[in-house]
C-alpha cells in the first residue's frame, strides 16, 4: 500500500510541471513555405536551452522550459500561439516573423511581456523611448541595408555614383522595411534603386528576373525568406547574373538557400551580424550534452548551419538577459517584467562571449533604456560552393547611423503619435 | 420526442410564418442567444476570445455573406479575401481620418463601401456564368491585393505597408487596440453577427431571397416568370459584399489589430470561406455558422489535443492536422454533399418522428 502511494506521488510529481521554471515560448514554423528556414532556427533556439539544463542545471539554478508552438509563419496562428503561451509565464517572445511581430508589439506591451526581434521586426523599435518592451539588438534591417551599401562602396573604392542597385524583396512588411533606408542612401551616394517585389510565397519570380536580365543592374540586393531565397538564387544562376554582385540580407543567406543551385551559387554574398561556422568551443558541449544524449531538437542535423547558429545566438542573448535580471532583482524565478529590466541592462563583452565558449561570435554591445537596437555592426559572408561553406570576407564594421537614426526617430515618433505614447527614459 | 409538434398551433398568419415555427426550435434559439449574450461574456478569457470565439464570429459573418452570393444566388465567387480587404482598409482609412466617429458606424460604412466595390466586380455576372465568373472574381481578388499593396495612400504611407488599428471605444469600453478586454471584443462581434444573421435570414426567405433562388435554379426560367436578373444578381453581390465588408473590418480592427494585405487577405482566405459554406451547407444560414465553426474550431481543437494533450512534436501535429481536416472534408462531402446543415435537417426530421419512424 505504501509503495503504491509512493508510486502515485512519484507519478503525479513527474506529470505535473515543475512550478519554478523559466518559460521560453518558441513560436516556430516547421511546416509551410518557410519551414526550410524556420526549422534550423527553432532547433538552435531549443538546443541552447537544453544545453543549459543538461550542463548547468538551468540558469542561476532555475531550470528552463521551452514551449514550442507552430505558427506556419501565419499571423492568425501566431496570435493563437501567443494567447496560448502567455499564461504560462512566458519571459520573452521571439516570433521570427516580421508580420507576427507587428501583431504582437502592442499586445505584448499591454501585457508587460518583452519581445526580442533580433535582426527583424519593426526597425524603429530600436528607439526604447517609444517601444519600452521591444528589443532588436544587435542589428536591424536598416543597419543591414546600410551595411550592404557600405560593402558596395568598399568594393568600388568609395564611389557608386550612377550605379543601379535592384532590390528583390518579399512583398510584405518584412521586404518593404529597407526601402526608405535604401532610398535615403541612394540620395546620399547618388546611385539608383529599382524595386522588384516578389509575392508570397516567392515560388514564381520569372518576370522579376527577366526584368533584371533586361536592365542589367550593377548589383542585386535581396530581402527574401523561405522558398523565395532558393528560387531567386536559382533564377540568378539561370540568367547568368554574376553571383558576386548578388547580396542578400542575413535572412537570405543560409545553406538551404544556396545548396539547391549547386555550383552556380558560388560567390553569392550575404550580410551577417554574427559569425559563421561551428568552430567554437561551445559546440563541443552541444555535441556532448545535447546531440549525443539524443536530446537535440528536430532531426539534430542542423548544428553549425547559419540559421541554427542564429537561433542559438538568440537563445544565448535571452539567457544572458535572464542572468542579468536575476542579478538585478536577486531572485532566480524571474517574471516577464524583470526579464524586461534584464534585457534593458544587458551587456555583452568579448570576455563574456569567450567565457561562454563563443569567442568573437557576435559583437560586444550594451543595451540602454534609449537604445534597444545595439550597435548594428555586420560583416559580409561569401559562399564557397565547392567547400559548401560560408566564410567572412570582411571585418565587422558599423553602418551609417547618420542616415538611419533620423529615420528611426521619425518612424517611432509617428508610432508614438498614432498610439498616444509618451516617451519614457526621462 | 424532442421535436413534438402536437399542440403547437399557429393561430395567426404571422405566427405561422415566423423563422422558427416549432416551439421547441424557437426556445432553443432563445436559449442559445441568452447563453451567448448573458453567460459567455462573464466567463470568457483572452485565449477563448482571441483564438476561438472572435475568429468564429467574424468568419460566420463572412460565411453568411458568401452564402448569400454562392448558396442562394448561385454566383460563384473566389474574391472573398480581396473583398474582406476592402472592408478592412475602408475601416482603417475611416478610423484614422475621422477618429471622433464611433467605430460601430465605421464598420457599417466599411460594409457599404465594400458593397459598392463588390457590385462593380459583380457586373460581369450579367454576361458570364459558372467557372468563367469564378475566374473573373479571382481576378478581383488579385487586383485588390495588388492595389492595397501598391497604393501607399491606403496604408497612410507607413514604411512597412502594415495597417494598425488605433484604440476605439464603444460606450466607454475599448473594443480595438491591445488593451481591449476579452468580453468587449467578443460582444462587438456578437452584436454584428446577430444582426447580420437576423437580416440575412429574413432577406433570404422573403421576396428577395426567392428571386435569388430562382436565378440560381435556372436563370432563363426566372427571367420568364418576371425576375429581373440585373437587380437580382447585383443585389446579391451588394448584400453579400456588405456582410463580407463588415467581417473584413472586424477582422482587422477587433481581431488582428494589425494587418498586411497579402498575408491576411490572400487567396487562401477566399478558399477558406468558400470551404466553410460548402462544408456547412450551401443556401443555409445555419450552414454558414456550422461551417465557420468547423473550419475555425477543428484545427485549434486538434492542436490542443495533439500537442497539449498528447505532447506530440509540433511539426508532426501540424502536418497531421492538415491530413485530418482534409480527410474530414472529403468524408463529409461524400457522406453528405449538402453539408452540415443537411445533417442537422435530417437529424431534426428523425427526432420529430422518433420513436415511430415511417
Confidence of residue A56 (pLDDT cuts 50, 70, 90): very high
Q: Do B158 and A102 touch (CB under 8 A)?
A: no
Contacts of A30 in chain B (CB under 8 A): 314-315, 318
pLDDT at B349 (0 to 100): 84
- Asked if residue B17 belongs to a domain, the reply is no
Tell whether B23 is covered by a domain: no
Helix (H, G, I), strand (E, B) or coil at A365: strand
With a CB cutoff of 8 Å and minimum separation 6, the contacts of B13 are: none
pLDDT at residue number A8: 42
Query: Would the CB atoms of A171 and B160 count as touching at under 8 Å?
Result: no
* Beta-carbon separation of B51 and A80 below 8 A: yes
Which helix or strand (DSSP H or E) is residue A239 part of?
Answer: none
List the grid coordinates of A132.
519600452
Average predicted confidence (pLDDT) for chain A: 90
pLDDT for the residue A1 = 39
Q: Quick one: A198 exposed, middle or buried, by C-beta within 10 A (0-12, 13-18, 19+)?
A: buried
What pLDDT was estimated at residue B2? 65
For the cut 50, the answer to whether the pLDDT of residue A15 exceeds it is no
Q: What is the mean pLDDT of residues B58-80?
A: 95
Q: So what's the pLDDT on residue B10? A: 84
**Res A3 pLDDT > 80:** no
| Burial category of A193 from C-beta neighbours within 10 Å (exposed 0-12, middle 13-18, buried 19 and up) | middle
Average of per-residue pLDDT across B269-281: 93
Residue B347 has pLDDT above 90, yes or no: no
Provide CATH 3.40.50.2300 ranges for chain A: 21-138+279-374, 141-276+378-405
- The CA distance from A282 to B277, in Å, is 54
Each residue's pLDDT tens digit, B301-326: 998 898 888 888 888 888 998 898 88
pLDDT given for residue B312 in this prediction: 84
Computed over every residue of chain B, the mean pLDDT equals 91
B173 in a domain, yes or no? yes
CB-CB neighbors (< 8 A) of B296 in chain A: none
**pLDDT for A69:** 92
- Closest residue in A to B182 (Cα) is A83
Is B187 near chain A, with CB under 8 Å?
Answer: no
pTM for the whole structure? 0.91
Q: Is the pLDDT of residue A13 over 60?
A: no
Check residue B1 and give its pLDDT. 57
- Name the CATH superfamily, with its identifier, for domain A21-138+279-374: Response regulator (3.40.50.2300)
- Contact list, A197 vs chain B (CB under 8 Å): 149
What pLDDT band is residue B185 in, cutting at 50, 70 and 90? very high
Residue A203 has pLDDT above 80, yes or no: yes
B78 occurs within a structural domain: yes
Q: Which three cell numbers stand for residue B162?
A: 502594415
For range A224-246, the mean pLDDT: 94
Cα A317 → chain centroid: 11
- Chain A residues within an 8 Å CB radius of B259: 75
Of A86, A87, A172, the CB nearest to B260: A172
Residue A199: DSSP 8-state:
-
Q: Which range marks the domain in which residue B330 is found?
A: 35-353
Percent of chain B with pLDDT over 90: 64
pLDDT (mean) for B94-121: 95
CATH superfamily of domain region A141-276+378-405: Response regulator (3.40.50.2300)
SS3 (DSSP) at A247:
strand
What is the pLDDT, as a whole number, of residue A424?
A: 85
Residue B357 has pLDDT above 90, yes or no: no
- Indicate if the pLDDT at residue B92 is higher than 70: yes
CB distance A420–B167 less than 8 Å? Answer: yes
CATH code at position B287? 1.10.3470
Span A69-127, pLDDT tens digits: 999 899 889 989 999 999 888 999 999 998 899 889 989 999 999 999 999 989 889 99
Give pLDDT, residue A156.
93
How far from A219 is each of A146, A170, A244, A267, CA to CA, in Å? 14, 17, 9, 13
Reported ipTM: the value is 0.87
Q: B6 pLDDT band (50/70/90 cuts)? A: confident
Is the pLDDT score of B218 beyond 80?
yes
Where residue A19 falls among pLDDT bands split at 50, 70, 90?
low
Per-residue pLDDT reduced to its tens digit, B245-265: 999 999 999 999 888 888 899
Asked if A83 and B167 come within 8 Å (Cβ–Cβ), the reply is: no
Q: What is the mean pLDDT of residues A141-149?
A: 94
How many folded domains does chain B comprise?
Answer: 1
Locate cell 535572412: which residue?
A251
pLDDT of A378 over the 70 cut = yes
Find the closest chain A residue to B256 by CA distance: A103
- Residue A219, classed as helix, strand or coil, is strand
CB contact at 8 A, A98 and A120:
yes
Q: Residues of B numbered 140-159 whose beta carbons fall under 8 angstroms of chain A's beta carbons: which are they?
A: 149, 158-159
Tell if the CB–CB gap between A30 and B303 is shorter than 8 Å.
no
pLDDT of A269 higher than 70: yes
Amino acid at each position: 500500500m505504501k509503495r503504491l502511494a509512493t508510486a502515485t506521488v512519484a507519478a503525479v510529481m513527474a506529470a505535473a510541471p515543475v512550478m519554478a521554471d523559466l518559460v521560453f515560448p518558441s513560436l516556430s514554423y516547421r511546416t509551410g513555405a518557410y519551414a526550410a528556414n524556420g526549422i534550423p532556427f527553432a532547433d538552435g533556439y531549443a538546443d541552447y536551452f537544453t544545453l543549459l539544463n543538461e550542463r548547468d542545471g538551468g540558469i542561476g539554478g532555475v531550470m528552463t522550459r521551452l514551449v514550442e508552438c507552430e505558427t506556419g509563419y501565419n499571423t492568425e496562428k501566431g496570435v493563437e500561439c501567443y494567447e496560448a503561451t502567455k499564461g504560462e509565464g512566458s519571459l520573452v517572445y521571439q516570433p521570427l516573423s516580421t508580420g507576427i511581430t507587428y501583431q504582437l508589439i502592442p499586445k505584448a506591451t499591454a501585457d508587460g511581456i518583452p519581445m526580442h526581434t533580433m535582426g527583424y521586426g519593426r526597425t524603429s523599435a530600436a528607439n526604447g523611448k517609444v517601444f519600452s518592451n521591444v528589443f532588436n539588438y544587435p542589428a536591424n534591417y536598416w543597419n543591414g541595408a546600410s551595411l550592404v551599401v557600405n560593402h558596395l562602396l568598399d568594393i568600388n573604392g568609395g564611389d557608386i555614383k550612377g550605379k543601379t542597385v535592384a532590390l528583390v524583396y518579399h512583398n510584405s512588411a518584412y521586404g518593404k522595411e529597407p526601402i526608405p533606408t535604401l532610398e535615403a542612401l541612394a540620395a546620399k551616394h547618388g546611385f539608383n534603386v529599382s524595386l522588384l517585389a516578389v509575392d508570397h510565397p516567392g515560388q514564381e519570380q520569372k518576370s522579376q528576373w527577366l526584368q533584371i536580365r533586361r536592365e542589367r543592374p550593377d548589383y542585386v540586393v535581396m530581402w527574401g525568406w523561405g522558398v523565395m531565397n532558393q528560387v531567386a538564387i536559382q533564377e540568378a544562376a539561370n540568367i547568368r547574373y554574376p553571383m558576386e554582385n548578388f547580396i542578400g540580407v542575413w535572412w537570405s543567406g543560409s545553406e538551404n538557400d544556396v545548396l539547391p543551385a549547386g555550383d552556380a551559387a558560388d560567390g553569392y554574398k550575404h550580410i551577417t551580424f554574427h559569425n559563421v561556422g561551428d568552430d567554437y568551443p561551445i559546440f563541443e558541449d552541444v555535441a556532448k550534452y545535447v546531440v549525443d544524449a539524443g536530446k537535440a531538437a528536430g532531426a539534430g542535423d542542423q548544428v553549425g548551419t547559419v540559421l541554427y547558429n542564429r537561433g542559438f545566438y538568440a537563445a544565448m542573448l535571452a539567457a544572458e538577459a535572464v542572468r542579468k535580471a536575476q542579478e538585478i532583482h536577486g531572485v532566480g524565478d524571474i517574471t516577464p517584467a524583470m526579464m524586461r529590466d534584464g534585457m534593458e541592462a544587458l551587456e555583452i563583452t568579448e570576455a563574456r562571449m569567450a567565457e561562454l565558449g563563443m569567442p568573437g561570435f557576435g559583437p560586444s554591445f550594451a543595451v540602454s533604456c534609449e537604445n534597444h537596437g545595439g550597435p548594428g555592426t555586420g560583416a559580409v559572408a561569401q559562399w564557397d560552393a565547392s567547400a559548401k561553406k560560408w566564410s567572412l570576407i570582411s571585418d565587422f564594421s558599423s553602418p551609417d547611423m547618420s542616415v538611419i537614426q533620423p529615420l528611426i526617430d521619425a518612424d517611432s515618433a509617428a508610432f508614438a503619435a498614432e498610439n498616444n505614447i509618451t516617451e519614457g527614459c526621462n | 420526442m424532442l421535436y413534438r409538434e402536437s399542440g403547437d398551433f399557429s393561430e395567426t398568419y404571422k405566427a405561422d410564418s415566423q423563422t422558427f415555427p416549432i416551439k421547441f426550435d424557437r426556445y432553443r434559439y432563445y436559449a442559445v442567444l441568452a447563453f451567448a449574450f448573458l453567460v459567455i461574456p462573464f466567463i470568457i478569457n483572452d485565449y477563448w476570445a482571441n483564438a476561438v470565439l472572435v475568429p468564429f464570429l467574424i468568419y460566420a459573418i463572412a460565411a453568411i455573406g458568401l452564402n448569400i452570393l454562392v448558396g442562394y444566388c448561385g454566383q460563384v465567387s473566389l474574391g472573398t479575401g480581396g473583398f474582406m480587404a476592402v472592408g478592412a482598409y475602408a475601416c482603417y482609412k475611416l478610423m484614422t481620418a475621422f477618429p471622433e466617429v464611433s467605430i460601430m458606424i465605421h464598420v457599417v460604412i466599411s460594409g457599404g463601401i465594400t458593397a459598392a466595390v463588390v457590385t462593380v466586380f459583380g457586373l460581369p455576372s450579367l454576361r458570364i456564368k459558372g467557372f468563367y465568373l469564378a475566374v473573373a472574381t479571382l481576378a478581383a481578388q488579385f487586383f485588390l491585393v495588388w492595389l492595397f499593396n501598391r497604393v501607399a495612400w491606403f496604408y497612410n504611407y507607413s514604411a512597412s505597408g502594415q495597417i494598425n488599428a488605433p484604440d476605439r471605444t464603444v460606450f466607454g469600453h475599448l473594443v480595438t487596440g491591445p488593451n481591449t478586454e476579452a468580453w468587449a471584443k467578443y460582444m462587438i462581434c456578437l452584436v454584428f453577427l446577430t444582426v447580420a444573421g437576423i437580416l440575412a435570414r429574413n432577406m433570404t426567405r422573403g421576396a428577395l431571397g426567392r428571386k435569388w433562388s430562382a436565378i440560381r435554379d435556372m436563370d432563363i426560367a426566372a427571367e420568364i416568370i418576371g425576375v429581373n436578373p440585373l437587380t437580382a444578381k447585383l443585389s446579391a453581390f451588394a448584400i453579400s459584399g456588405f456582410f463580407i465588408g463588415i467581417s473584413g473590418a472586424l477582422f482587422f480592427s477587433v481581431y488582428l489589430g494589425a494587418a498586411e494585405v497579402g498575408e491576411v487577405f490572400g487567396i487562401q482566405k477566399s478558399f477558406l470561406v468558400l470551404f466553410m459554406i460548402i462544408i456547412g451547407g450551401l443556401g443555409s444560414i445555419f450552414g454558414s455558422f456550422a461551417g465557420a465553426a468547423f473550419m475555425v474550431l477543428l484545427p485549434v481543437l486538434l492542436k490542443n489535443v495533439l500537442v497539449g494533450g498528447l505532447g506530440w512534436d509540433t511539426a508532426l501535429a501540424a502536418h497531421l492536422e492538415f491530413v485530418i481536416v482534409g480527410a474530414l472534408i472529403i468524408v463529409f462531402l461524400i457522406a453528405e454533399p449538402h453539408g452540415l446543415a443537411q445533417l442537422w435537417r435530417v437529424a431534426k426530421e428523425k427526432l420529430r418522428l422518433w420513436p415511430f419512424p415511417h
